[in-house]
Homo-oligomer: A and B are copies of this chain.
Amino acid sequence: MPDRDASLETIQRELTAFARRARAAAARLHPELSLVSYTLLAHLEEQGGCRATDLAAHYLLDKSTVSRQIAGLERLGFVERRPAPEDQRAQVLHLTARGADTLAQVAANRRDAFRERLGDWDDADLDRFAGYLLRYNASNRTLIQHAPQN
């Protein structure tokens, strides 16, 4: 019964539609933190601090892009730079208390929005959907290893 090509077509179309709206949706949901800023802060929290280069590598961004993003977040008082003990060239980026607060606030907003949006899904469906997304993104990550540029 499942038509493989139709499914692929749908997946492609719906993911594209989602991607197109994501930035604007994030801006609406939390104007004080862009999707990218949010992501970088969340990574810093999760990792307990890391270098700009690590962020660039992880998110496939140019180091200049990360440098400017971080400069903005520092200006806002959300991150601070600490000397890296083992390499004087590097700086380790850390969330400030203010950054952690803002991140927590935004994360809560997002959580609520998702909870609302997915409120009528049953647990098993949510679980499967989460699993599929993980699997999809993991395959993406694999492909990226082989990609040339960026």
Contact = CB atoms under 8 A, between A and B. Distances in A.
Contact of A126 (B4, B20, B39, B129): B4
A9 to B, nearest CB: 7
A24 interface: yes
Nearest to A1: B127
A22 interface: yes
A150 B11 contact: no
Interface string A32-70: 000110110000000000000000000110000000000
A29 B91 CA distance: 34
- Each complex incorporates copies of this chain amounting to 2
Nearest to A134: B14
Contacts of A137: 14, 17-18
Which of A15, A35, A139, A149 has its CB near the most chain B CB atoms (within 10 A)?
A15
Interface of A: 1-4, 6-12, 14-25, 28, 35-36, 38-39, 59-60, 110-111, 114-115, 117-118, 121, 123-130, 132-137, 139-140, 143, 147, 149-150
